[in-house]
Amino acid sequence: MTLVTISVLALAVLGVLRPPPRMSAWVPPVAGAVLLLLVGVLTPAEAVDSVRPLVTPLAFLLLAVPLAVMLDRVGFFSSVAALVDTGRNPLLGLWILAAAVTTFLNLDASVVLLTPLYIHLARRHGLNPVMLALQPVMLASLASSALPISNLTNLIAASRYHLGVADFLVRLGPASLVAVTVGWFGYRRAGSEQAAPERIRDAVDPRALRIGTPIVLFVILGFTLGDALAVPAWLVALVADVPLLVLTWRSGRTISISEIPFGAAALAVSLGVIASAAAPHLGLGTVFHGSGPIAELRVAGAAIVGAVTINNLPALLIGLPLADPAHGQLWALLFGVNFGPALVLHGSLAGLLWQSTAARLDVHISPAQYTRFGLRIGLPALLAGLGTLLATSAVAG
């Protein structure tokens, strides 16, 4: 069954990156997961166990997209874009803002709140909306390692090994800072080659700001304090959705079922099932062995491959029990699963959330196009961050 399982994994990933004509990207991995169940590689109970850790983040995915949709529908993001008009060339300031929001709130807040805002700002300034929309999702990978709250993967590891803010700042903070800096230069070079569309100048709508501002403040506080109070992000999004549902329903602009990213959720679930089936055949015991820079490089490389092929959350859950925090393996694992999604769209749920949010605003990017940008922007940043991680580990011990 080893050959069958590995083949299904490879075909599922290829199908996501290059879906067959007129077929959604989620169809190949779903078909692969069903095939593994039919041939008995996994039992239904094992499949359920493999995706159980994904339930909470997927609930957030399915509730956060409607939140962004409805905030935009009431005119909040276009009004904020007009209100915070940042001059002739806002790119660097917005890059820093997205890095800060990702680090000090979390990557979900960055993707959900900044993606539509940046698309409106791009159209207001005559900038390419694809390029500006890439900022939050790229920084969701490059800037999400410095604090426990920055990424769900960090929170899972912090809970398991009783890690605090200082641990993350010392071990992953320098790598994040270097990656964000290097990523900016790659982004600026890639963006200079993109054509700019015609400007669209929206006016400030005071009513939209009165409606949206308290909801956004609630969401930011909920994301920031929710982890400390054991309030899940999906519940924060659900509570924020309720008044917006009422307002948009009354105005006849309510969200439709087709605008909820069920396809993205199906993709994540099916990749999680396939990853669970493939894990015993991947020989990971030899990867998580030894200490020193070579061992850390090996673990980080395996984690990056895991994020690129199956999604970073299943990759973390597979590797976490094997990682030895005393030998730096844990930090290498976290680095790989956090930074790897800069290379592929399906590498994290944040990437899938970003794709759904951008597509609704008529900004479309395929998995293959995303990877091309990821190789130009994310890969140099990842390599610089990895070198910094190894240097930090050598100093910190």
Question: Mean pLDDT by 10-residue block, N- to C-terminus, for the chain (397 residues)?
Answer: 83 80 85 92 88 79 81 80 64 87 80 87 84 94 89 81 86 96 93 56 75 86 74 86 88 78 83 81 72 88 89 82 79 95 89 86 89 95 96 85
Measured CA angle at 72 (ends 70, 75), to 5 deg? 115
Q: Is residue 300 part of a domain?
A: yes
Q: Is residue 9 part of a domain?
A: no
Tokens of 179: 């990656």
Q: By residue range, what is the domain housing residue 353?
A: 64-396
Model pLDDT, residue 374? 95
- Packed helices 262-278 and 2-17: angle between N→C axes, nearest 10 degrees: 150
Q: How far apart are CA 339 and CA 360, in angstroms?
A: 26
Q: Is residue 15 part of a domain?
A: no
- End-to-end CA distance of the chain: give it in Å, rounded: 41
Q: Is residue 350 part of a domain?
A: yes
Using alpha carbons, select from 199, 213, 216, 207 the residue that is nearest to residue 121.
199
Model pLDDT, residue 384? 97
Q: Is residue 32 part of a domain?
A: no
Q: Is residue 4 part of a domain?
A: no
Chain centroid offset of residue 306 CA: 14
Beta carbons within 10 angstroms of residue 68's beta carbon: 26
Model pLDDT, residue 86? 55
Q: Is residue 31 part of a domain?
A: no
- How many domains would you assign to the chain? 1
Model pLDDT, residue 88? 60
Tokens of 376: 């130009």
Model pLDDT, residue 35? 93
Q: Is residue 344 part of a domain?
A: yes
